[in-house]
Every structure is written in C-alpha cells, then in structure tokens.
Structure 1
C-alpha cells in the first residue's frame, strides 16, 4: 500500500545523506573530538582531529539551528562555535614543539642584538647570555658554538651557527620532541638574558650624558644649567658630536636653542655627516635655524632641499633665510632660481635675492644685477645689487657698479666708490 511504501526505511547511504544536523548531534561530535584530542599522541593524530573540527565547523555554518526565544540567551550556533574555537586553541597548544620555533627564537635574538644600542654594561651582559646559550646548545646538539669574541659580529655568528645546525638536523616533532623542548628552554633563557641586559634607552638622560663623557669637561662653572656650561666648553673644543648629543638628549627648548646657536657659530667646524643629516631632517620641515646652520656649514648636500623653498612666496622669512644659506653654500645650481626672484613684487625678496647672488659669485648674475641697479625703483634693492656686483668682483662686475658714484642714493654711492677703488687698485677677481 501507498501508506506502507511511504514508511519503508531508506538504506544506509540515503540515511547518511539525509541525516539532520542538530544541536545535540553537533554537541556529541564536539565531545568525541575533545576525547580524540586528549588521546592524540602524534602530529598525525592531531591532523586527524583538525580534519574533524573542520567538518564540524562547516556543518555549524550550513545547519539551520534554532534561535533562542529570549534575546539575552546565547544562540546554540554561537555556543557551539565558542566550543569549537576552544578546541582549536587546545589543538594548537598540543602541537610541537618544532625545530622552526627554535630557529625563529634565535633569529629574534639576533635582531634584538643588532637593533639595540647597548651600554658598556649591557654589552658584557649580552655576551654572557650568548655564551651560556651556546654552551647549552652545544650540550644538546653535541657541538661547539662558543663565540670567538665579545663583539657583536662574533655573538651573531655563534647564534647563526646554532640555527644552521638545528635546521640541518631535521628534528622531528614526535621523535625529537625532548631535544626540541630543551633547545626552546635554552632560547627562552637567552631571550630573558637579552631583555635583562642594560640598554641605552634604559638610562636616564643625565646618565646617558654621563656615560658619553658629556660632563667630563666641567670644572668650575658659573652658568646654570650645568649642561649649558658643558656645551660652551665643547664648542671651544670644536666637538660637534657632543653638541649633537646634547641636542638629541636634552628635551628642553632652552638647550635646543643653545645647541642650534652653537652649531651656527661653529660654522664649517660643525660639519659632520651626523650633524648635516640632522639639520637636513629639520630643514625638510622648513626649520629656519637648521637652514641657517646648513648655510654656515656650506653644506652642499642641502642645495636640493633648499632650492625648493626659493619659490615659497607665502613665507618671505623662509625665503630670506634660504637665499642667504644658498649663497653661503655657493653652489651655482642655485643661481638661476634665485636670479628669477629679482622680479619679485616684494622688494625685500628682490634685495635678498641680489645679495644671495653676490655670495654665490656666479658671473652669470652680472647682467641681471646690472639691470636691477639701473632700473629697480627701490634704492635698498639697488644697493644690494651694487654690493652683489662688488662681491662677484670681476672687472665687468666692478665696472657695472662703479658707474654709480654719483647716484642719488647714498648707500649706492658707497658701494660704487668701493667698486671704483677696487678697479683702481687692480684687484678684480678675474
């Protein structure tokens, strides 16, 4: 009968395909997976459990599980997912240990050694930590990894040697688990030793300065703070490295200002790679004191950066400082950009551009400066042009300036007379 046919049981294959996924069935499968995880002894066992968990996760996502009537009650899908996540965490914790973990730990220690600035005490402490690790690794791996010295290169070489040996050993997480665990214990001790070693950043500012010998020059001093007295002494000794140390260490506007003023007074005596780099960083942020210093140091490295500010018409003070600095540096690459500013609407900018051209000394500027001297409406600008021609100092430049000994502007007359005297004395530069 049809009713009877409808109730005929399906075969096993059809039953497995149509079995309904319920909260209870998923809960039972999670309990079974938890038991299997507890009994797992090898990586292969753990891989099997992981596959089971993947299947359960897929079923949780695809199943139409009931929603709770009370909105404050946790949904069954959420509860099952939480249990699944916990089992995955337990599974990962049960894996290993792996030789790759040992190598990763060693590489982290190498990076720590190379990237950290250590104090003298810290350098001794990291050498001891690496030596102890090398000894422990030697006992575990039956090798000799003792560092050949206490310098950073020797310490890193010793650690790299251990890592290479571990990688070549092909340690199995099941068969060699005790060896790997012993190595990880040794890397943990190494990491702790490096963390406990004294770093430069661990010191207070005055301790850093003291460690670098900044205060060694102090005898009887009158100025306060004492760092200012030391700064003055280092300036007298032409030690820009100590001035830079103070600038980078002392976080006060007072000392920053005095450090920058010191560099400016020192001029080319302050020109070291470290100082130039620091001033270039500041100049890149339009820092005017740094630009002045780069000019006083005649730092050719700054020309490319400073030329970009020649057109900073909205900041005339920046232009003024930049023109002078470029003039003092004396690189003729700045001649044309500055000469273009002789047509500026701002007479102050025209005047500063003229003086910068005089400092540059490029003979290509003689004609435009002569035009300014002849045609500019502002006598201050004309005076600067006459001064610039006199600084360039060639016969042509001096003759152009000397034509104005009877000029209406007194200052132009003075510059013209000086140019004329230079011609009479036969002292043109070319």
Structure 2
C-alpha cells in the first residue's frame, strides 16, 4: 500500500481518530482533576553555581558549567530531600517529594532552575527555597581537596574581625577624648589660699612702704626733755648773772660764796646736759629700732611673696605638665592603635582571601521563589494526552486495516 492509500484509509476512519483523541483528552483531564490535588501551584527559584577556587578564564567557566550540571543531578538525592522534609515538617516521603520537585540546567550555563509544586502556593515557595538552603548546606559540607586543608577557619576570621572592631572602637574613643580634651587645672583650694596670702602680703607691703616713707621720729620723753632744757636754760642765765656779780664783788667772802654757787651750777649743768644727751640718744635708738623693724618686716613680706609666687607658678606648671603628658599619651596610644589596625586589616584581608579561595563551590540565589498567584494549567498535559491518543488511534486503525 502506498501513501495515498493510507491517507484514504485514515480519512475513512477519521471518526475513530477523533474518538481516540477525545478519550485521551478526557482521560487526561479527569486524571488531572480528580486523581491529583487541584489546583496545583508551582514556585520557581534560580541559583548559580560558582567555584571560587577557579580562575576567571574560559576553562574555569566550562568547569563551572559542568559543576552546575553535576549538582543538578546530585540535588535530587536523599540528604537534600530529607532535610527539606525535616525542616518544613511536610507529610511526604522522599519519593513523593521528589515528584514535586523539578531541576533543570538552563541552556547549558551555570544557572540551575528549581521548581516545586504543591496545592498550597505558600508551601510551594517554601519547598523551593528550603530545597536551595539544603542544597547549599550539602555543598558546603563537601570536603575540599588536600591542597586546601591548611587554610584559615571561619572562627579565626571571626576573631580577627572582633579584634579589628575593638581597635576601631578604641580609636574612635581616643579621638573623641583628644578632641574634647580640656587642660587640667591646678588644685583650686591651694591656688585660692596662695592667692589670698599674696594679696594680703602685697597690701601689707604697700602699707609698710608708705609708713616707712612717711616716718617721722617721735619722742616718748618730750616732757622730761623740756624740763631739762628749761633747767639748763635757767641755770645758764643764773651762771651768767653770778659770773657778772662775781666780777663786781667787793669782799672776798661774797666772792667765795658766788664762786661756790657758780661751781654748783656748772656741776648741775654738766649733769643735766649729760641726762639730756642720754634722752636724745634713747629717742634716736628707738627711732632706728622702729625703722629697722619696718625694714625687716618688709623684707620678710618680700621673701614670703617670692616663695608664694614660686609655689603658685609650680602649681600651674605641674598642671600644664600633666595636661601635656596626658595629651602626648593619647597621641601615642592613637598612633599605636592606628598602626596595629593597619597591620590587622592587612592580615585579615590576606586570611580572608585564602579562606574564600579554599572554600567549596558556592551557591548563589539569583531569583528566590515567591508564592505563585496562578495555578498550574493542565493545558499542556491535555495537549500531550491528545497527541498520544491521536497517535495510538492512528496505529490501531493501521493495524486493523492490515489484518483485514
């Protein structure tokens, strides 16, 4: 039989082809509607596989593609599926969950598409995202090659990060202290006491200096001196009178009496003059003593003022020295912390690079799964069932005609 004959046979039995196709379509729809949960939702996530230990060249790119295909096959193994079931607490077995998940490599690239179906859109997204997390955990659990075993650990990097953070915090604290630093002041009580002593001494010094400049000797024996001077004056007058009378005396007896009186007066005058000189000497000595007392007091005050000024300067100098020492200490500490921080950051970056280079291939989520809003349409399954029904009907018609 040639092709035209077969076409005529199929055209004559076309109703059988339509009937078989209709039965297949109806059976597919009924199976999708009643034998499986409906409506069904599908959530999809896309991840990329990248080996950090490989270089950025063409061979590495091909290696990453092959690695993505390998993980796409390995992802459907029991450990990943069991982790999803345990963490989500879904009432499915590993085999049942495997039927709800589809994995495919996108266009021979490093991208892997993971789809999860469920009658609950939230659960579909949760299964897809949890599947990615479990796959990532399994990838990280893969031991690295022997060349990568001598590398820093995550704990060691964390210790370096803590040390760097503490150094940065200390540097900020020291910088704030230096910016807000105020010079230290001398003890207020001691300064106030010294300033009061200095003020009182300067006031007293001015008073004594004025008193010394305006000093006039004063006698405490003016009355006694006046009496002696009066006596001496009267005695001098009497002596002159007696001397004149002696020169005019007529008899020796009168002359002798006058001579005796003159001698007595001269003796008294000498005694009174000596007494007067003693009084003058005492007044002079007392005046000199008063002047010397004032001078000594002035010298004492000047000495005290010099001592108190030096003590006040010492207090201020000590405060300034303490302030300068504290500032220098802060600056030195800042320089030390900055130097340590630079060294630690360089060491940390080196260790981090070694750590990242030695890590297992990483899985990065390109697009996370979100709860779908529309249910999965059965149209594709129905079309496939219709095509299968049509082909089966065609085969049956051809087989029947050949037997006849």
Larger relative contact order (Cα-Cα within 8 Å, sequence gap ≥ 6): 2
Larger proportion of strand: 2
Q: Name which one, 1 or 2, has greater alpha-carbon Rg.
A: 2
TM-score by shorter chain over 0.5: no
TM-score class normalised by the smaller sequence: under 0.3
Q: Give the alignment's TM-score, normalised by structure 1.
A: 0.16
